[in-house]
Amino acid sequence: MSTVATSDDAHGASAAGAQPSPKKNGLSDRAKGERSLGWKLAGPAFVIMLLVTLYPICYAIYLSLFKYRLTDPDNRKFAGVQNYVTALGDPLFWEAFTTTAVIVVVTLIIELILGMAIAMLMNKIVLPRRTLRTIVLIPYAIITVVSAFSWLFAASVDTGFFNHWLHFFSFGQFPLDYDWFGGRWSSLTIICLSEIWKTTPFMSLLLLAGLAQVDTSLEEAAKVDGATWWQRFRRVVLPNMKAALMVAVLFRSLDAIRIYDNPQVMTGGANKTMTLSMLVSNETINRVEIGMGSALAVILFVIVLIVAFIFVRGFKVDLTGGGK
């Protein structure tokens, strides 16, 4: 095998040496024309999108440098980075950071496992495939606020059925009057369950797209060589769907970091369940502290950027080339 490759390489090298070397980075006139046409067509939309995206970010950074209360605009004073120092030194910020981190880690791990299992099931089943995909997508089609109220009513002592089911299946050991929203970790359990129920279909669809790209002949060859199911999954399937896996994990992580609806509806931030997005909303809207709220929003934006950078670098996927 190595002899053939060496011979081919040598032949290619000699052939390349016999012909004039092409320009490494040169483009033909047709390619240049297509690139120019592409910029002309997409340029206006790109510039508008850039302005719409950049202006709020830059304005938030600008406001974060001021001590500015909306009800007292005449006393707006330049404070430099004092808002950032105050935010990062406040125990409430780190409490919200911990709550957000717990929700992100727990939901991401469980959704990744369940999403992969559902994706593999949908990838294998042929006959009712469309029906199965439609059923799986139903939770994701429900508005998040509606989903949050449904889980709130389901877990409440007076209107819910969770306690009755758990009481029945535990043979009377689980108390009927257990208050799920009376403590931090029990509240986070319901919030995480609601998130997992709603967004696992999104994860499974992205993973299903990745599974469709895996060449089945590679799996069959590995099976003939005696590889177990786990070995085929770990060494054949996962490496060949790395791009889809990265997109699924990245999108879901960034979405979970900005979680707001579910904890706001279920607890309103009580019992140490306030997330970073709720903290930003509380400072900006409820307390009308525009400077501090902008500083918190910028910190949340930086956290999102750091997480995105870690995932992109960690998976080592070139999405523009579509390969590994």
- CATH code of 196's domain: 1.10.3720.10
pLDDT at site 13: 43
Give residue 248's region: left, alpha or beta (phi > 0; psi -120 to 50). Answer: alpha
The backbone torsions φ and ψ at residue 196, rounded to the nearest 5 degrees and listed phi first, read: -65, -45
pLDDT at site 6: 41
Task: Say yes or no to pLDDT of 281 above 60.
Answer: yes
Domain count, the chain: 1
Task: Say yes or no to pLDDT of 104 above 70.
Answer: yes
Cα atoms in the Cβ-side hemisphere of radius 13 Å centred on 266: 36
Residue 308 lies in a domain: no
Which H or E run includes 78? strand 77-78
Residue 114 lies in a domain: yes
User: Residue 175 is part of which domain span?
Assistant: 97-285
Model confidence band, residue 302 (pLDDT cutoffs 50, 70, 90): very high
Shortest CA distance to 181 belongs to which of 55, 295, 266, 59? 266
Residue 231 lies in a domain: yes
DSSP bridge pairs for 304: none
Residue 246 lies in a domain: yes
Amino acid at 277: S
Residue corresponding to tokens 């089943």: 125
Task: Say yes or no to pLDDT of 111 above 60.
Answer: yes
Residue 104 lies in a domain: yes
Residue 59 lies in a domain: no
Residue 171 lies in a domain: yes
Spatial separation of the C-alpha atoms in residues 82 and 296, rounded to whole Å: 12
Task: Say yes or no to pLDDT of 2 above 70.
Answer: no
pLDDT at site 220: 85
Q: Which residue has the higher pLDDT, 269 or 126?
A: 269
pLDDT at site 10: 42
Lowest-pLDDT choice from 109-113, 121-125, 168-172: 121-125
Residue 211 lies in a domain: yes
pLDDT at site 11: 44
pLDDT at site 305: 92
